């Protein structure tokens, strides 16, 4: 069972990395093409700016997932770095529980906002604004799932 979950997790990690690469690459491509069009033809492609903004938001949240996965996010470890054994385990579990609560609140709010923004369309592209807000919901799901995995690791092995 754990092997299957680990395979799904690795597949999801790869998917997030590919989506992050695609969003960054797409954003660079759109901005570059629009700059060339403006320079050569004195006329840009209006939807490219909006699409680049959408891709930027996706890149931010996909990057947040990747940073959390790799423990590269901002963390304050003044207390946990000095503790060992059971006290360290308790503090780590408390921190992860707070992350789960925050992810739950963010998920609920993000889902409500995504549902509300379905009818709001981008002015240049006509893409629903919920396309952007869903990146927020997706990030909370991934971060919540990774946090659950870290809680299991702390309980089973004594650390991440």
pLDDT tens digits, one per residue of 23-75? 999 999 999 999 999 999 888 888 999 999 999 999 999 999 999 999 888 87
| H or E element, residue 32 | helix 2-41
| Residue 135 · residue 57 · CB < 8 Å | yes
Average the pLDDT over 108-113 and give the result: 96
130-147 confidence digits (pLDDT tens): 999 999 999 999 999 999
Encode burial over 72-94: b for 16+ CB neighbours within 10 A, e otherwise: eeeeeeeeeeeeeeeebbeebee
Which of 143, 140, 122, 142 is CA-nearest to residue 131? 122
Spell out the domain ranges in the chain: 2-157
Residue that has been written with the tokens 């946090």 in this structure:
147
């Amino acid at each position: 069972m754990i092997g299957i979950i680990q395979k799904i997790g690795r597949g999801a990690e790869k998917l997030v990395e590919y989506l992050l690469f695609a969003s960054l690459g797409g954003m660079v491509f759109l901005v570059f093409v629009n700059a060339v069009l403006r320079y050569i033809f004195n006329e840009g492609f209006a939807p490219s700016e909006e699409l680049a903004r959408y891709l930027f938001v996706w890149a931010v949240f996909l990057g947040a997932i990747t940073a959390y996965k790799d423990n590269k996010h901002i963390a304050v470890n003044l207390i946990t770095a000095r503790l060992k054994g059971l006290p360290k385990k308790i503090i780590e579990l408390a921190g992860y529980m707070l992350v789960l609560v925050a992810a739950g609140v963010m998920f609920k709010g993000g889902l409500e906002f995504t549902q509300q923004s379905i009818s709001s369309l981008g002015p240049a592209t006509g893409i629903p604004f919920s396309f952007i807000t869903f990146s927020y919901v997706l990030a909370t799901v991934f971060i919540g799932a990774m946090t659950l995995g870290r809680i299991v690791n702390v309980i089973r092995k004594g650390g991440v």
